Amino acid sequence: MSARRRPGKQGAHGDRPGDDDQGTKSQARSGSHVGFLTGLWTLMTIQNWVLDFGRPIAMNVVPLEWFPLNKPSVGDYFHMAYNVITPFCLLRLLDLSPRRIPATLRYMTVVFMVMGASIHLVGDSINHRLTFSGYQHQLSVRDNPIMQNLEPQSLVESFELLYFYDEYLGHLMWYIPFFAVLVLFAWGSFVPESAPPAQRHLPISGILLLWPSALYYWYLVTEGQIFSAYSVSVVAILATVLYRRMTSDQVLDCNGRFLLYTFLLTLAMIIVWVGYLWNHAVLRQKYPGLVYIPEPWSWYSTL
């Protein structure tokens, strides 16, 4: 009769099944380089353009009869798809980071992003529907003619609350965690200066993705009015690059360079955009603050 194996001794050295696999995965995460994430960056670029940028375009193109005013519009369904796909892309991005990021931090940032995007979904849907009643997006809530004729006037404050949820709270809870994920990934994307060129330099696919990615982030920053979150992200990445360079002779790998170059190209586009509309009389009244960055759709509505 063969000897019966004792409980708890599943291997030659008493290891449990899967221990070797977990150790191998952990070593692979810390000791290997995944290369340029062409598939993931391409997926994020396409879904950003189609589901986010294409959302208001779809709402304006699709006949209103197909989606009545008391039902979700086609753009709302685009937004719902974005809210489902983007969290998985960001979680996958963090999972592929060469530097291990705590699971609690990963999930908290993504959860807050989904909460903010969902708040924005509701507010943006109603605000877009108001345009069919004569609402003018280039004007403030109280300056809109339909609001001035609203009775009782206390209802205007409810629409101002809706605008706050849409343009402020929703955007902040959506975009701050979104950029935080990108910064966390960039912080872990460093290799020694002596690493092979394939790990340090952008491949052709990365160069081709730079322009559509930067153009989308230009739209995101200007339309979302999130220059503060964007600028903090750029400064955080640049500061980390300088610190690593001075203390450990490490440089950004190809994925980190892709993010940094994308953000810098975005900054150049924002400067050109602001310079072009610097003396716009109508938009100057709507954006009176110190930081003047008009929204593209507000500019479009003035044409």
pLDDT 10s digits, 221-277: 998 888 999 999 999 999 999 999 888 889 999 999 999 999 999 999 999 999 999
Mean pLDDT of the chain: 85
Residues 6+ apart with CB under 8 A from 275: none
Cα angle value 289/292/294 (rounded, 5°): 120
Q: Give pLDDT, residue 281.
A: 83
Distance CA 79, CA 124 (A): 10
Share of the chain above pLDDT 70, in %: 89
Continuous segment of H or E residues that includes residue 89: helix 74-95
Q: Is the pLDDT of residue 20 over 50?
A: no
Greater model confidence, 208 or 57: 208
Q: 251 forms bridges with which residues in the sheet?
A: 191
Integer angstrom CA distances of residue 247 from 99, 215, 240, 244, 256? 18, 34, 10, 5, 18
| pLDDT surpassing 70 at residue 23 | no
**Res 65 pLDDT > 90:** no
pLDDT of residue 283: 85
pLDDT of residue 87: 96
Q: Which residue has the higher pLDDT, 302 or 209?
A: 209
Helix pair 204-224, 227-248: axis angle to 10 deg = 140
pLDDT band at 32 (very low <50, low <70, confident <90, very high): low
Quote the tokens at residue 209: 């993705």
Residue 13: pLDDT over 50: no
State yes or no: pLDDT of 78 exceeds 90.
yes
**Residue 68 confidence (pLDDT):** 86
Nearest Cα to 118, choosing from 140, 74, 87? 87
pLDDT tens, position by position, 120-144: 999 888 888 888 778 887 778 888 8
pLDDT of residue 33 exceeding 70, the answer is no
Q: Quick one: average pLDDT of 287-296?
A: 84
Model's pTM, two decimal places? 0.81
**Those residues with Cβ within 8 angstroms of residue 130's Cβ, 6 or more apart along the chain or in another chain:** 146
- What's phi and psi for 110, nearest 5 deg? -70, -40
